[in-house]
Amino acid sequence: MTILDWTERFHGTSRLPKAVRDRLRTAARIVRCPKGGQVFGPDNVPDSLLFLYDGRIRVSQSSDSGREIVLYRVEAGESCVLTTACMLAEEAYNAEGTAETDVTAVTLPKHAFDRLVSEEDAFREFVFEAYSRRLIDLLRVVDDVAFGHLDIRLAERLLVLAGGREYIQATHQQLASELGTAREVVSRILQDFQKREMITQSRGRIAITDKAALKQLAQST
Amino acid sequence: MTILDWTERFHGTSRLPKAVRDRLRTAARIVRCPKGGQVFGPDNVPDSLLFLYDGRIRVSQSSDSGREIVLYRVEAGESCVLTTACMLAEEAYNAEGTAETDVTAVTLPKHAFDRLVSEEDAFREFVFEAYSRRLIDLLRVVDDVAFGHLDIRLAERLLVLAGGREYIQATHQQLASELGTAREVVSRILQDFQKREMITQSRGRIAITDKAALKQLAQST
DNA sequence: CCGACTTCAGTGACAAAGTCACGAAACCGG
DNA sequence: CCGGTTTCGTGACTTTGTCACTGAAGTCGG
């Protein structure tokens, strides 16, 4: 599969027109990152824009005390604007991107990015929409952390992580890192869920036995 | 003072070049908002970009349960990109902007904004930098709320709000809204500060008596 | 100045969440 | 099967959030 094919398919998913595709084809470079690898982070500051072609990146922020919280996820066809932000701001930040699957991305040098933004309306729309979505995502995180109740947030997250399936492969620590809380707290709440027969637990795995009840809990404002 | 003067001075503060200034002069419109008014909010969704010429806007988010948290402040010469984000995303959001002083702003219709972004490098830089700064601001808020300790955050905020002065004109409720917590919690912590002789309190007013101690507390990671 | 009214702050009891220290159980490689 | 590692459970304690109520400090009309 050539770079051309990649950018073709990438543009297919993000619905960018041919003109943009042509520009990207000449300027873009392909980078890969194995599952579990750090795509970007405090040590690993990127100098290019990042467009995700395949895979999923988890963007999280960690505290000095070792706790962690997931900010959002970047899916295939999306751009990771946080890298841009940090690039431009040149400020210290402690957010990092982790490859949740094997990841293939298209990187675009700043000058090429500038040209595309100025010359291609569709690309510009795409970029601004990406920024907007992330801002909204972060607003949601702030709202959850500042005002949300943990049992509800955990129920929500279990349902999201399960997707269609009826189980989740994750440790209590991983769930705590999703929500920005401590493992013990997750353990307590999960035990409560178990007592109420909404889930059953085994090591590193949670089975949802009463999805309806979980949903009801998750939606109880 | 004419629109031209306003845009002149606005561009002066934000260091935009003449070409941008000319464009703005033709497309921009001046809006005002009295102190305490809502510049934007769930009910009051703007359809234009907002550039703050004079005054200060407090952007905060409120919960269903009546609590509130300040996300950041927009100072003169800055742009409020959150309005843009919400405009583009067309999603429900519960952030609102309140005029902390009498406010004068320049609004720019979307089409004019698009042209400027595509044709003027300096303006594009300005806009992207604004987005980046807000993203970073929100990262900081998330970090504080998720991992920070309230006494430290309150000490920080007291120092910031005091600026150079040795007192702060604010109720406990207002301070609680700054930090996204409850009034009672602020009252408790302030009483502690008072016992430790870092502040003295009177109704709606807090005097800092030991700035050094407050600073030390604020910096104790 | 007085009394009614509003706003602001203090308090105690309790619930929810975070921290710490420790131990038990499940898994893994040899 | 054994020793080491990871994951989970638990109790004690601290911090933070919630609720209901009290009193104190300002405001305003008369």
Q: Which residue has the higher pLDDT, A189 or B27?
A: A189
Same domain, A140 and A163: no
Which residue of chain A is at minimal alpha-carbon distance from B132? A85
Domain, as residue range, for B55: 3-146
Q: Which two tokens stand for residue A57?
A: 């990146």
More reliable by pLDDT, A115 or B175:
B175
The reply to whether B26 and B132 lie within a common domain is: yes
B34 touches strand C (CB under 7 A): no
DSSP code per residue over A69-90? EEEEEEETT-B-HHHHHHHHH-
The alpha carbon dihedral of A62, A92, B151, B177 has a sign of negative
CATH code: domain of residue A215: 1.10.10.10
CATH code of the domain containing A19: 2.60.120.10
Contact A44/A92 with Cβ under 8 angstroms?
no
> Bridge partners of A57?
A74, A99
Q: Give the CA B188 to C1' D18 distance in Å.
A: 14
What's the gap between Cα A199 and its chain centre?
26
Residues B45 and B81 in one domain: yes
Per-residue exposure over B19-56, b if at least 16 CB sit within 10 Å of its own CB, e if not: ebbebbbebbeeeebeeeeebbbeeeebebbbbbbbbb
Say if residue B48 is in the same domain as residue B121: yes
Same domain (yes/no): B114, B174: no
Question: Do A167 and A66 share a structural domain?
Answer: no
State mean pLDDT over B161-168.
Answer: 95
ipTM of the complex as predicted: 0.90
The pLDDT of residue B1 is above 50: no
pLDDT of residue B32: 92
pLDDT tens digits for B44-90? 777 788 889 899 999 999 999 999 999 999 999 888 888 877 766 66
Amino acid present at A57:
I
pLDDT tens for B93-138 read 789 999 999 999 988 888 888 888 888 888 888 888 888 889 999 9
Residue with more model confidence, B6 or A40 = A40
**Model confidence pLDDT, tens digit, residues A15-51:** 566 666 666 666 678 889 999 999 988 877 777 888 8
| Residues B187-198 pLDDT 10s | 999 999 999 999
What is the band of A70 on the pLDDT scale with cuts at 50, 70, 90? Answer: very high
- The pLDDT, as a whole number, for residue B14 is 53
Q: Which of B123, B146, B169 is the last residue of a domain?
A: B146
Q: Which residues of B touch A (CB under 8 A)?
A: 61, 63-65, 67, 69, 71, 81-82, 84-86, 88-89, 91, 93-95, 114, 117-119, 121, 124, 128-129, 131-136, 138-139, 141-143, 145-147, 180, 221
**A116-172 pLDDT tens trace:** 888 888 888 888 888 888 999 999 999 999 999 999 999 999 999 999 899 999 999
**A57 and A155 inside one domain:** no
As for how many domains chain A has, the answer is: 2
Q: What's the mean pLDDT when you consider all of chain B?
A: 87
